[in-house]
Amino acid sequence: MTYIEMMLIALGLSMDAFAASISKGLCLSQIKHKYAFIIALFFGSFQLIMPLVGWFLAKSFAVYITSIDHWIAFVLLSFIGVKMIHEAVKKKDIECCSITVIEIKNIIILSIATSIDALAIGVTFAFLPNVDISIAVLIIGLITFCVSYLGVFIGHRFGMKLGKNSEIFGGIVLIFIGTKILIDHLGLLTF
């Protein structure tokens, strides 16, 4: 897997956290870099840890299903992508009261919820050849951190409309990567 593909997967995965960051920024009565940093740190950390957990779990049984690993990657990435698009389309705009303090418990729950897809990506990485998991999780964590940090400020300024569109974009990216993995492995487009 190339660095570009890893970055695209990371970008796709980070869209849930981006949307959640936008909603948090929308609800903050006063925007502070400290708040944005805390939110981004939690989202980025969970997005870094979850694929690692998925990878370790899947590595234990990867040798038994290597003949269908490309199909597993395609199905998981496509499923996550379709799920993200579906959730974004059906999601209602978030109404919130203005908050002045970040509740860590709330951020942890959001971090877990937005990183469940990353767990499945970690499983996918276990079945793909040439994936350096340490580099992959660092890229995912860093991109999610940066996107989430920006999301807080964007949410405070522009509102929730971008959140839905970002999740749709992320879903499309994941479906595209899954399809590319399948096509590459089956040799359907050889030049």
In a domain, 49, yes or no: yes
Total domains present in the chain:
1
pLDDT digits (tens, 9 = 90+) for 34-66: 889 999 999 999 999 999 999 998 888 766 766
The residue segments making up the domain with residue 25 are 3-186
Average pLDDT over residues 131-154: 94
In a domain, 100, yes or no: yes
In a domain, 191, yes or no: no
Q: What is the pTM of this model?
A: 0.72
In a domain, 123, yes or no: yes
Q: How far is CA 187 from CA 33, 128, 190, in A?
A: 48, 15, 6
Q: Is the pLDDT of residue 6 over 60?
A: yes
- Structural tokens at position 98: 């203005």
